[in-house]
Chains A and B, each alone.
Chain A
Amino acid sequence: MTPAAYPHRHLLGIEPLEPSHITAVLDTAEALREVLDRPIKKVPALRGKTVVNLFYEASTRTRASFEIAEKVLSADSLSIATSTSSVQKGETLLDTAKNLEAMNPDMIVLRHAASGAPHFLARHCRSAIVNAGDGAHEHPTQALLDALTLRQKKGRLEGLRVAIVGDVLHSRVARSNVWLLTKMGAEVILCAPPTLLPPGIEALAPVTYRIEEAVEGADAIMMLRIQQERMTGGYFPTVREYHARFGLTEERVRRAKRDVLILHPGPMNRGVEIASEVADGPYSVILDQVTNGVAVRMAVLYLLLGGSEAVA
């Protein structure tokens, strides 16, 4: 029997994956995308499988696209937003998960404010666990959909020059993307004010404080959201000053390659990290990212729940 293309039981992060596993997810997503264009957008692949979406943080895109992916593949799913659940009564994550698991789901998709929360569940639960964002640690499906978008538009990941600009400190998207892109042979440069860079990040990718330098000759620019809800101190003087120094304006885009792609994981703060005319401009692939998000999540569901019991 040929070895599994994606030989893991969970998707907890990009960091532990081999390049071939990443390619397997992207190829599967590419094959599944066609299903979304059919007159009947539903295939019976995961009939009889149950997926619980457990979201401890607000989410539009990620949760909606997991739900659509689950429905298209015929899995039964339910979504629990903790703001309306017993979590409000003080139940711990493990108790909530154990109780959900007593209902025999095949997979739990978890978004949580604490880094490592999905890894903790993976140690204590039988279900397959998918990380839908854990604190400032990883957001693997976002990095995969960004990679799928880049690969579709550029035909490859290897050798691309990608600038990641913005709130790197609070960004799980940045971490997952740095790991993914460097594993796949892209050249990554990070750009943020010193206050929004975590210590030791230079070990993962080169860093600059000047956006002009970051975007120079770039094939793609990934903008990160300024995560005001996570900011406890004064990281920069004002939003206007941040925009003046680090915002992606048309003038700055012109320093990149002519066919540069602009990505943003959403939700955007228009006029803060990204100017409106850039967000809506011709090189923006922000809405392609959203469509690819569904395909990537279908691929993850298929790879984790299709086939018989994969090896750990």
Chain B
Amino acid sequence: MAKPAPYRERQELMDADRLSRTLSRMAHEILERHPDLRGTVLVGVRTRGVPLARRLAARMKEASGFEPPVGALDITLYRDDLTTVGPQPVLKGTDIPTSIDGKTVVLVDDVLFTGRTVRAALDELIDFGRPARIELAVLVDRGHRELPIHADYAGKTLTTTREEVVQVRLEEEDGDDRVVLLERGAAPRPRTSARKRRPQR
């Protein structure tokens, strides 16, 4: 479906093992703050926030014996750039399996960047009820916020340039588990300007 992006891999940020350990640590951090999971709901932001939320829930069950419910949020209908993004984004639908009234909702996403996705997710969640609180868990926080939003749980925080892309690849969606840093310019022939800007090695 997706055609090869004009990006090339610059650095591996996490391999499968590291990703797995990071998720375990995040699951324990959430448990530490909310030892009684009965009032907690994990809500993943589509696409990759959903498998991440499921994995966190599974690990929380291992550690506490109780698996919090997991929901999925498709924020497309709440995007602030819906009428300018190009062709209509494909809708996959929202599925919140339980009432969120009075609960602690932990919003889960793969990468925190401008914060605009989280803004849309907050607006959508509030249309489903009045949670006691909403927290944010992300696998990677890469900076460059355009809104006053921060992560309560971050698997990894790193400094990036705006041009770079942090790609989270998950078994469920992409066939393997890893996090990579991509940069523009996978052209078959390296452009001279690109070479000048960033000399090899």
Once A39-B128, A43-B77, A43-B127 are accepted as A-B contacts, the answer to whether A34 and B95 lie under 8 Å apart by CB is: yes
In A48-95, which residues have CB < 8 Å from any B CB?
48-49, 73
Tell me if A308 and B93 are in contact (CB < 8 A). Answer: no
Tell me if A3 and B87 are in contact (CB < 8 A). Answer: yes
Which residues of chain B are within 8 angstroms of A35 by Cβ–Cβ distance?
A: 77, 94
Tell me if A31 and B91 are in contact (CB < 8 A). Answer: yes
Tell me if A307 and B123 are in contact (CB < 8 A). Answer: no
18 extra interchain contacts, Cβ-Cβ under 8 A, other than A48-B83, A302-B88? A1-B86, A2-B3, A3-B87, A4-B88, A6-B88, A27-B90, A31-B92, A38-B128, A44-B77, A303-B88, A306-B88, A307-B83, A307-B85, A307-B87, A308-B83, A308-B84, A308-B85, A310-B88
Query: What 1/0 flags go to A268-312 for Cβ under 8 Å of B?
Result: 000000000000000000000000000000000011011110100
Shortest Cβ gap from B173 to chain A (Å): 16
The prevalent SS among residues of B at the interface is loop
Once A31-B91, A43-B78, A44-B78 are accepted as A-B contacts, the answer to whether A306 and B86 lie under 8 Å apart by CB is: no
Q: Does B35 contact A (CB under 8 A)?
A: no
Q: Does B158 contact A (CB under 8 A)?
A: no
Q: Does A196 contact B (CB under 8 A)?
A: no
Contact of A302 among B74, B91, B127 (CB under 8 A): B91
Contact of A39 among B86, B88, B129 (CB under 8 A): B129
- CB-CB nearest in chain B for A44: B78
Interface residue count for A (Cβ, 8 Å)? 33
Q: 20 interchain pairs (CB within 8 A)?
A: A2-B1, A27-B90, A28-B91, A31-B74, A32-B91, A33-B93, A35-B77, A39-B127, A39-B129, A42-B127, A45-B78, A49-B83, A73-B77, A302-B88, A306-B83, A306-B88, A306-B89, A307-B87, A308-B85, A310-B88
Contact of B123 among A27, A44, A303 (CB under 8 A): A44
Tell me if A4 and B74 are in contact (CB < 8 A). Answer: no
Q: Does A101 contact B (CB under 8 A)?
A: no
Once A2-B1, A43-B77 are accepted as A-B contacts, the answer to whether A31 and B87 lie under 8 Å apart by CB is: no
Measured between alpha carbons, how far is A5 from B76 in the docked complex, in Å? 15
Q: Does A40 contact B (CB under 8 A)?
A: yes
Which residues of chain A are within 8 angstroms of B127 by Cβ–Cβ distance?
A: 38-40, 42-43
Q: Does A216 contact B (CB under 8 A)?
A: no
Measured between alpha carbons, how far is A38 from B129 in the docked complex, in Å? 9
Q: Does A30 contact B (CB under 8 A)?
A: yes
Which residues of chain B are within 8 angstroms of A6 by Cβ–Cβ distance?
A: 88
- CB-CB nearest in chain B for A3: B87
In A1-43, which residues have CB < 8 Å from any B CB?
1-7, 24, 27-28, 30-35, 38-40, 42-43
Which residues of chain A are within 8 angstroms of B2 by Cβ–Cβ distance?
A: 2
Tell me if B93 and A30 are in contact (CB < 8 A). Answer: yes
Top 6 A-B pairs, shortest CB-CB distance: A4-B87, A307-B88, A31-B93, A31-B91, A45-B77, A43-B77
Query: What 1/0 flags go to B69-83 for Cβ under 8 Å of A?
Result: 000001011100011
Tell me if A310 and B93 are in contact (CB < 8 A). Answer: no
Query: What 1/0 flags go to B112-130 for Cβ under 8 Å of A?
Result: 0000000000011001110
Shortest Cβ gap from B4 to chain A (Å): 12
Shortest Cβ gap from A66 to chain B (Å): 18
Interface residue count for B (Cβ, 8 Å)? 26
Shortest Cβ gap from B68 to chain A (Å): 21
Which residues of chain B are within 8 angstroms of A43 by Cβ–Cβ distance?
A: 77-78, 124, 127
Which residues of chain A are within 8 angstroms of B84 by Cβ–Cβ distance?
A: 308
Measured between alpha carbons, how far is A271 from B140 in the docked complex, in Å? 65
- CB-CB nearest in chain B for A308: B84
Measured between alpha carbons, how far is A1 from B90 in the docked complex, in Å? 13
Shortest Cβ gap from A203 to chain B (Å): 34
Which residues of chain B are within 8 angstroms of A44 by Cβ–Cβ distance?
A: 77-78, 123
Which residues of chain B are within 8 angstroms of A310 by Cβ–Cβ distance?
A: 87-88
Tell me if A307 and B86 are in contact (CB < 8 A). Answer: yes
Which residues of chain A are within 8 angstroms of B3 by Cβ–Cβ distance?
A: 2
Measured between alpha carbons, how far is A73 from B91 in the docked complex, in Å? 14
- CB-CB nearest in chain B for A310: B87
Measured between alpha carbons, how far is A28 from B93 in the docked complex, in Å? 8
Shortest Cβ gap from A266 to chain B (Å): 27
* Residue among B82, B95, B124, B129 having the largest count of chain A Cβ atoms under 10 Å: B82
Shortest Cβ gap from B81 to chain A (Å): 9
Tell me if B1 and A34 are in contact (CB < 8 A). Answer: no
Which residues of chain A are within 8 angstroms of B90 by Cβ–Cβ distance?
A: 5, 24, 27-28
Which residues of chain B are within 8 angstroms of A305 by Cβ–Cβ distance?
A: 83
Tell me if B88 and A34 are in contact (CB < 8 A). Answer: no
Shortest Cβ gap from B93 to chain A (Å): 4
